[in-house]
Amino acid sequence: MNLTTKRTLGVAAAIALALGTVAATSAQAAPKSVTIAFESPLTGSEAGLGQDELLGAKTALYEYNLTNPAVKVNLLTADDQADSSVSPGVALGLAQNASVIGVVGSCCSGATKAAFPAFKAGRLTVVSPSATNATLTDPKSAVNGFPFFHRVAATDAFQGPALARYAVKGVTSPKVYLIDDASTYGAGLKLLTQPSLKSAGVSVVGSDTVIAPASDYSSTASKVVASKANVVVYFGYYSDAGKLKKALDLAGYKGTFASGDGTDDNGYITSAGKADAEGTLITSQSVPFELAAPAAVQADFTKATGLASAAGHAYVTQAYNATNVFLSCIKNGATTRSAIQNCVATGSFVDVTGAKFSFTRYGDIAQGAPVGAYVVKNGEIIPVGNA
């Protein structure tokens, strides 16, 4: 996932210069304590995504500390606001911090991509819970994160076809209108959804791009109603998805509203309002923690976070798994950046369900990862199976 990319000239060169001494500091003797950074939006319009994922990271670290480990692990939070004009500076600060040996994050694809120059220059390994844009691990892409970027969620190359199927399921003679937010995530997911609609013979009656954040979706809603569409698919984040859905309902739209994992957050229901959000279809790579985690781990979640349950919080499972990738490596003696990179790239890990996984050369899960189907019902985002 990710917001609009704003890149400035000379960033890569400045980062490389600033990081000239990092390699030397990461090759020291094994310390008694190391730091894992958690980078995601912790403030701003998409803060709900980062705050949800932080719950998973805290739970994994809580369990690690219960083992009385030889190496203490500190968790450093870094707020990139899901903004690709902010994340390069945040990433540079992490790369310059010699105690940081790995990064969990970011949740969003644009912010992640914009941070790559700093992380590559600092040779800092990244495991994202939810940055799903396919180009981030595409060896043919000029902006991939090789060899330092990894992720524990399926890419949008899988979510796009799943969203295309789910959005029109059960709709007689579907006529689809596509709307994206111009972000790396939203525009990318739209491109990966369109071919599946075309191959299925589904009629696409309109397409629009509205740069987020936007305050007024009335013009777009009018276009949708005029097109006679009976399915609207939005590609973007929950805060604007909610504003769009509210505008559609005010304009008299009565059809299906579907969206991807950027909308998989209770903030969508707050933004749209409970009544307008009702019935929304959502696809997401997030696996509900309250369904995936054993009872003992759920009890640890409560102790670590103070929350009775992870229900309603997206990507907790993936953040827990991503954090445990680093913790597993540290348990096995990897306490420098180079050792962490080697361990993550070549190691085998265990997720919250007990299943083993590893990463491909370019950072995706070798065993594959699911895309789930959800529906908003009675003010909650309810899982209904695989999309």
Q: Where are the domains of the chain?
A: 11-153+290-354, 157-284+371-386
Share in percent of the chain as helix, strand, coil (round to 5): 45, 20, 40
Question: Does 305 have pLDDT greater than 50?
Answer: yes
The encoded tokens of residue 382 equal 């309810």
Rounded distance between C-alpha atoms, residue 369 and residue 14, angstroms: 37
Rounded mean pLDDT of 54-67?
Answer: 98
Q: Is 35 helix (H, G, I), strand (E, B) or coil?
A: strand
Question: Does 271 have pLDDT greater than 90?
Answer: yes
Q: Do domains 11-153+290-354 and 157-284+371-386 have the same CATH topology?
A: yes
Rounded mean pLDDT of 6-34?
Answer: 49
Q: What angle do CA 67, 71, 76 make, to 5 degrees?
A: 100
Rounded mean pLDDT of 171-180?
Answer: 98
Rounded distance between C-alpha atoms, residue 334 and residue 237, angstroms: 36
pLDDT of residue 31: 73
Question: Does 267 have pLDDT greater than 70?
Answer: yes
* Radius of gyration for the alpha carbons in the chain, expressed in angstroms and rounded: 20
CA atoms 104, 321, 108, 367: torsion sign: positive
Nearest to 107 by CA among 135, 85, 76, 78: 78
Nearest to 332 by CA among 26, 70, 19, 41: 70
* Burial of residue 299 (number of CB atoms within 10 Å: 0-12, 13-18, 19+): exposed
What average pLDDT is seen over the chain? 93
pLDDT of residue 367: 95
Per-residue pLDDT of 216-248, as tens digits, reads 999 999 999 999 999 999 999 999 999 999 999
Rounded mean pLDDT of 371-380?
Answer: 97
Peptide bond into 294 cis (omega under 30): no
User: With contact defined as beta carbons under 8 Å apart, do 174 and 200 qualify?
Assistant: no
Residue with tokens 């569409």: 229
Name the superfamily (CATH) of residues 11-153+290-354. Response regulator (3.40.50.2300)
Lowest mean pLDDT among 30-34, 114-118, 131-135, 349-353: 30-34
Per-residue pLDDT of 316-351, as tens digits, reads 999 999 999 999 999 999 999 999 999 999 999 999
Please give the residue that has the higher pLDDT: either 17 or 202. 202
Domain 157-284+371-386: give its CATH code.
3.40.50.2300
Rounded distance between C-alpha atoms, residue 274 and residue 183, angstroms: 26
